[in-house]
Each structure stands twice: as C-alpha cells, then as structure tokens.
Amino acid sequence: MENGRPLIVLGRRVSLGIILESDATFLFKVINDPEVHRYLSNPGRMFYEYEELDWIRNLGKREVDSRHFAIMENNSQKIVGVIGVREINFSNGSGVLGYFLEKDSWGKGYASEAISLASDFCFGTLNLRKLTSAVFEPNTASKKALIKNGFRECGRYRKHSFVRGHGFVDDVLFEKLNEQ
C-alpha cells in the first residue's frame, strides 16, 4: 500500500492500484483534455467532476463485470492514467480492455507496461482466456502498445467513428488469447 492506496499489481515503472475518490479531480482534468479525449470512445462528450466522483463511488457495484485500476507511476506515486477491463464474461472467459494516460505521460512506455500488467491480472487472477480492445486508426501509439503486448489485429469497423482532426476513421479491433 502506497500513500493509502492499495497496489494490486506491481510493475517496474508503473503499478496498478485501487482508484480513490481523491482521483476524481485528476480524471476530470485528463478526460476533458482535448488531446486525450479525442481518442476515447465518445470524443464529443463533456465530462463533469461530479460524474467522475459518482463513477468512482459506483465502481464496487460494477465489479461483477469490470475491473478498473489507477495507473501509478512508481517513482512519484502519482496517478498517470486509468486502465480497465469491462464487459467481463466469465462463461466465455473474455473482457474488453480500455485505458488512457495523461498527456505528460505519453511516450514513456507506461501504457505498454500497464497493458502487460492488466493482461497478466486478467489471465492469471480472473482466469480469462481472451481480451479484446478497439483503437481509432490515427492512434498509432496505442496500436503499437497493444501489438507489443501480443494483441493482434482481428478486424475493423470501416469509417466508424469521428475523430476531431481526422474525420471518420476505422475502429481497429485487437484480440489477445491467453496461450500461456
């Protein structure tokens, strides 16, 4: 436990910890950053601070079919992003991986390490057999992070989503099987 936050999965440069109510201000700021927000699933939506606090307070109620973690930078013990798996289906052993980082943490390999830690948790602790994820075509860094972690492109929804500055783009679908 670091600074009152239980860490669930320990990594070399980042770790995955419990999301705290005190993270609501961080989430509100980062998720409304236009550069971060444009690659999220609903890029035209505005988010309000009370919504982030409500989301955090309701996480425990949704833990039946999802798990979400704060991505913590180990050196500073500062939250730098969120990663989670949703739509967990224990009968089929599958879930959908999603994540975002604050802009100051881009390009440092944190997303790649967090994807690795979350994948290990899903396969080793939750006993899932498959993870999927979707990325907007222009988000090359996210595609590289998934590929680096053994995800393979498995399809596309052509010209499916609007991304500011890019127009309508493909949603690139990825999957990773637990073949350990």
Classify 140 as helix, strand or coil: helix
The whole-angstrom separation of Cα 58 and Cα 41 is 20
Confidence of residue 106 (pLDDT cuts 50, 70, 90): very high
pLDDT tens per residue across span 133-172: 999 999 999 999 999 999 999 999 999 988 888 999 999 9
pLDDT score for 62: 64
Tell me what the mean pLDDT of segment 39-44 comes to. 72
Confidence of residue 114 (pLDDT cuts 50, 70, 90): very high
Tell me what the mean pLDDT of segment 59-71 comes to. 84
Q: Which domains does the chain have, with CATH numbers?
A: 7-128 (3.40.630.30)
Q: What percentage of residues in the chain have a pLDDT greater than 70?
A: 95
The whole-angstrom separation of Cα 19 and Cα 51 is 15
pLDDT score for 52: 85
Q: Where does residue 175 rank: exposed (0-12), middle (13-18), buried (19+ CB within 10 A)? A: middle
